[in-house]
Chains A and B, each alone.
Chain A
């Protein structure tokens, strides 16, 4: 009865609403996210100088605001819900052209989320550049080219509201970054004498010089990939006004209390020298979650025929001893042979290295055990890594582990900012290994693994 009376009421209300004039109906139209709000700027931005005439000092540049994050092991486009972006310049804008690039989330984690250059209007009003759009959940890039008459005019403020309704505010000063990830970290060239130079003395020590004297150093770390990234702090005994200055890059703690390997990441480290006008320089530092792996050691599987251990692998139990398994002459514990066929290689009691060939189902004695890259794995020097982060023919320095380590192994379990270090045969070789997250650098540098050298 209650439901019936309720239904009648709803029906009657619907009839009356349908009879209302359209403007009134539009007044009760629900508001979607993205249609309201003020301005938004993404997590990071870059700017670059395009031209500069001798006398007029015409200045033009590109602002790019974007953000991205990662969930689990799946790197996903950012989720900013942006309604509008406004750049407020300190001088009137002379010319402006631009576009807003929108990358839809066509599918999670799938390659091929190509940006579509969906055009959104950019309006210029006094000292404001405004990009308006009505967007859902998208990866946003905002590119606005500006021309202003004075380079120093390319300073101003941005403000906005992101999806969590947190107000983002900050300023950009011709290429300097802002509190919330930066509005314009690029290479706008300021007509200023203020400069900063940075040099990485080691993986973890940064030295800085600023000029002219009288300024103050500041450092910051912004995660660009992952969350377990490098932090930076002033070195012991160093004050912000100490010039030259020094700062320490610090590896994060492994957040996994059981010691399971964690993902590292990439951080944008910025050093600033603040005087009347601020100068800054930024560079990337990578951290990797470490772990240790080993190959099978016959001595850990007992002695044939009487004292062999047993093991169950994919529903089959291996126990006792076998003779001439997979063409390998001799008597071995079946569990050891099963382990060799599971892992691909092992070391016999007498030190011979053996390798299983699944294409022929044969085990043979080899000179060197090979990893997935088809090159020999070297105890204490071979790293398994994700080739997308550390490509082939790259040497890696890892804080606390060693220098010029060889990235010549890979594997499906090692994705992103993870490194597995080969330590030899037998479980004991990894017994005391700590799955830390460590700062590392690559030689030569790659897009995802920077070197020790800070680019000019």
Chain B
């Protein structure tokens, strides 16, 4: 076969490379933050920070919508708990919803967190007493805040698509722990345990990434036996006995579609028949680590200097802040 001279290949390469490639559009990481009561944002390049709001009324709890195009925040105006305001990323006001005080009794005392559930639905959460938390849903289409969920914990947990929610009731604050009878509810329906059975929930309630399964680990008070409880969208409730003691359990989490337990002996996968298989988490890929580095670098740059309440948005987040959570993607 006839050999092509290297110089000719180089020339051809340079000629073809002179034609511009189709641009690869990569949306930058964006960070929202508060400074002197106003909302700013900054991208992960060296762009200057952009002030999105002004006025005398201090803003709080700014959060990106899931698509990164809108921002919700709260401000204290008039009566009630405050006003939730939606703006676009240029600071234009799009919508406002006044949040009234609780009708009476144990409603939230203040708005303590704000979370986008879907493009038209937002959840606000605040504690009512040391154990009880109220979450109210704001439907932006109906400008309605009627749905209210009380959780004997840090607040209702929503499925990733925002359509379903889980909460615990039956362990009121002014009740000694020995008398408490917590029960898991999904969408206002009790799912576990049966009435009369006293359990303790040992882990957080965790939704699968596709939002089709909710899992939690519970301990039966009378026997000390541990059960992995999974609830599926079709209403199927599955219980798997775990051969562990309560002190062994550290956390329950999903890695992709695999449900895993972090225990004192390492990460385990509960099998269908109740056994526990040792599980090795994959290494964090270099590109993910690089994204984490970049996002943490941005966080480090932003922290301090009067900036607070930082909230990230990125198209493919390796590291994201969310309500009550910090998540390192893998």
Would you give the shortest CB distance from B280 to chain A, in whole angstroms?
Answer: 11
- Are A357 and B179 interface neighbours, CB within 8 A? yes
Counting CB contacts under 8 A, is B175 at the interface? Answer: yes
Q: How far is the CA of A72 from the CA of B37 in the complex (A)?
A: 18
Known: A111-B250, A312-B148. A296 touches B105 (CB 8 A): yes
In the complex, the chain B residue whose C-beta lies closest to that of A313 is: B150
CB 8 Å contact bits of A230-244 with B (1 = contact, 0 = none): 000000000000000
Known: A5-B19, A312-B148, A412-B154. A12 touches B127 (CB 8 A): no
Contact among A12, A19, A76, A258 with B82 in the assembled complex (CB-CB below 8 Å)? A258
Would you give the shortest CB distance from A194 to chain B, in whole angstroms?
Answer: 32
Counting CB contacts under 8 A, is A371 at the interface? Answer: yes
Known: A33-B293, A258-B82. A342 touches B132 (CB 8 A): yes
Most buried by B among A6, A81, A162, A339: A6
By a CB distance below 8 angstroms, the chain A residues around B112 are: 260-261
Would you give the shortest CB distance from B299 to chain A, in whole angstroms?
Answer: 8
In the complex, the chain A residue whose C-beta lies closest to that of B167 is: A314
Contact among B110, B146, B177, B289 with A137 in the assembled complex (CB-CB below 8 Å)? B289
- Are B105 and A370 interface neighbours, CB within 8 A? no
- Are B250 and A2 interface neighbours, CB within 8 A? no
Interface hits, B1-29 → A, CB 8 Å: 6, 9-10, 12-22
Counting CB contacts under 8 A, is B171 at the interface? Answer: yes
- Are A314 and B185 interface neighbours, CB within 8 A? yes
Interface hits, B275-330 → A, CB 8 Å: 281, 286, 289-290, 292-293, 296-297, 299-301, 303, 308, 321, 323-328
CB 8 Å contact bits of A3-26 with B (1 = contact, 0 = none): 101101110110110010000000
Counting CB contacts under 8 A, is B270 at the interface? Answer: no
Contact among B81, B104, B181 with A335 in the assembled complex (CB-CB below 8 Å)? B104
Q: How far is the CA of A3 from the CA of B20 in the complex (A)?
A: 9
Counting CB contacts under 8 A, is B60 at the interface? Answer: yes
Contact among A2, A19, A410 with B19 in the assembled complex (CB-CB below 8 Å)? A2
Counting CB contacts under 8 A, is A110 at the interface? Answer: yes
- Are B172 and A413 interface neighbours, CB within 8 A? no
Contact among B6, B104, B281 with A16 in the assembled complex (CB-CB below 8 Å)? B6
Most buried by B among A13, A314, A374, A410: A314
- Are A137 and B296 interface neighbours, CB within 8 A? yes
Counting CB contacts under 8 A, is B58 at the interface? Answer: yes
Interface hits, B72-126 → A, CB 8 Å: 74-76, 81-82, 103-106, 109-112, 126
In the complex, the chain B residue whose C-beta lies closest to that of A228 is: B308
Q: How far is the CA of A33 from the CA of B296 in the complex (A)?
A: 12
Most buried by A among B17, B127, B130, B264: B130
Known: A261-B110, A300-B104, A339-B105. A413 touches B131 (CB 8 A): yes
Counting CB contacts under 8 A, is A327 at the interface? Answer: no
Counting CB contacts under 8 A, is B176 at the interface? Answer: yes
By a CB distance below 8 angstroms, the chain B residues around A374 are: 176-178
Would you give the shortest CB distance from A339 to chain B, in whole angstroms?
Answer: 4
- Are A257 and B60 interface neighbours, CB within 8 A? yes
Known: A314-B149, A411-B129. A12 touches B106 (CB 8 A): no
14 extra interface residue pairs, beta carbon distance < 8 Å, beyond A9-B16, A9-B19, A335-B104: A2-B22, A6-B22, A9-B12, A79-B296, A291-B109, A309-B103, A314-B149, A339-B105, A344-B173, A355-B174, A370-B174, A370-B175, A413-B153, A420-B129
